[in-house]
Amino acid sequence: MAIRKPAVAGKFYPANDKTLSKDIQHYLKQADSEVNGNVIGLVVPHAGYMFSGSVAAHAYHLVEGKQYDTVIIISPSHYYALPSSTVMAEGMYETPLGQIKIDETAASLLVETSETIIKSETGHIGGQEHALEVQLPFLQVLFGERLRIVPVIMGDQSYKAAMELGNGISAAVKNKKALVVASSDLSHFHSDEQARKLDKTLIESVESFDAKSLNDLISMRKAEACGAGPIMAAMIACQKLGANRAKVVKYATSGDVDYGDRYSVVGYLAAAFVDESAVKMYEEAEAAITQEIKERLLKLARDAVYACVLGKPAPKLPTDHPLYAKPYGAFVTLTIRNSLRGCIGMIEATKPLAATVVDVAEGAALRDPRFSPVDSSELEKISIEISLLSPLLPSKPEAVEPGKHGILVRKGFHQGLLLPQVAVKYGWDRETFLSQTCMKAGLPPNTWTSEDLEILTFTAEVFGEND
């Protein structure tokens, strides 16, 4: 089995595993970047961590707590004049934090998409290429042993080559949840003032999410990036995988660090390619939830509870408003004299709203494992509350706001969720809310302090019959 040994450990980043892990965690903790939506791709610098580590962390912070099946890393070739893109399709990459398995299935599929994307260890094994390697420790800290990568080193960085690679990536991972990472620094060795002018042009092009315009800028020497090809390829791949917005989250130069100078600098960019469609859909739908629609949904839920308890056909779904047909996550909560009698929900927006409300209302009445099924004698006593959920977004413990956020935690086979109103009902502070959610997942209460716990937050539009 081929193993690509670290080439720049001790030069670009610490060679000691504990120091390396600690440094990365520090960078991530200091990052405060945010996006709304699903992150599909990143642009990340590749200089020594002392210069660009804090900028890289602003990109990687966006995917903390997320799960991906595979990570495709696209690096420029600094040391080999490669005529094409080479993919190390078998074996492992190694850093001081351990070995990383290659996603051999995705890598092989990528190679099959084009004659210009070849299976080769050239540029990988035995080389000094740092642009791909320096991304790996960040990814290892974020994703641990479940990390799988497809390492790509891009020789030809033309627009045509970027198109072929971007299209190939999207085809190779179309059935996976993938993260595409483009490794690139920006302008090199200008004064800080000149660098910022050059880089501003490229940043605007990235934010326009237009690979062709970026290529034109590079061709006309109006901007610089040693990984322009990887950025373009990532843009193209991410657009095909559903991204609809590019957002720059951090820019700096090497002159910004304490020991940097302003006379000859390198520019560093952190950016994300994001699918905002679910968030936009929720915001539009939230604005359309009138009092009349709330009352209709509550009646639909009550009709569904009565029907399933009495053994009658489910109620007919309303179709007189487009909101009822939009996919939505929702919970229905049943209470009797303010005591919980059943609560079941659908976290992900996989069904139309009206159908979701009927399904979870029936579930709350009959399938909550904490309670016996609702009896017909209880029907008149039951009160109904509906919670319509926003998309789930990864979060850190310190970002959780009781009363605003609901929480979903995941670790291995454990999963637990508490709605926003639960913290309000019991007057919990942030730590108590997090602890209680962990306990709901069957985990020790302090698991929320663990780095390998996935924490996701959401908001909810909550309304009930007693409002």
End-to-end Cα, the chain, rounded Å: 64
Same domain, 113 and 40: yes
pLDDT in tens, the chain (467 residues): 899 999 999 999 999 999 999 999 999 999 988 888 889 999 999 999 999 999 999 999 999 878 899 999 999 999 888 888 999 999 999 999 999 999 999 999 999 999 999 999 999 998 889 999 999 999 999 999 999 999 999 999 999 999 999 999 999 999 899 999 999 999 999 999 999 999 999 999 999 999 999 999 999 999 999 999 999 999 999 999 989 999 999 999 999 988 778 999 999 999 999 998 766 666 666 667 888 999 999 999 999 999 999 999 999 999 988 889 888 899 999 999 989 999 999 988 888 999 999 999 999 999 999 999 999 999 999 999 999 988 887 788 988 999 889 999 998 889 999 999 999 999 999 999 999 999 999 999 999 998 788 898 988 889 998 77
- For the chain, what percentages of helix, strand and coil (3-state, to nearest 5) are there? 40, 25, 35
Same domain, 299 and 259: no
Same domain, 12 and 116: yes
Same domain, 331 and 411: yes
Boundary of a domain, candidates 255, 275, 295: 275
Residue 326 belongs to a domain with what CATH number?
Answer: 3.30.1490.150
Q: Domain containing 118: what range?
A: 3-275
- Cα separation, 170 vs 180, whole angstroms: 10
Same domain, 198 and 335: no
Q: What is the pLDDT of residues 2-39, one digit of tens each?
A: 999 999 999 999 999 999 999 999 999 999 888 888 89
Q: Which of 465, 455, 270, 260 is nearest to 382 (CA)?
A: 465
Residue 178 belongs to a domain with what CATH number?
Answer: 3.40.830.10
pTM: 0.70
Same domain, 190 and 335: no
Residue 400: Cβ within 10 Å count: 20
Total domain count, the chain: 2
8-state DSSP, 8? S
Helix (H, G, I), strand (E, B) or coil at 268: strand
Q: What is the pLDDT of residues 102-159, one digit of tens each?
A: 999 999 999 999 999 999 999 999 888 999 999 999 999 999 999 999 999 999 999 9
Q: 418: which residues sit within 8 A by CB, 6+ positions away?
A: 406, 407, 433, 436, 437, 440
Look at strands 98-102 and 148-154 and give their pairing.
parallel
Boundary of a domain, candidates 275, 293, 311: 275
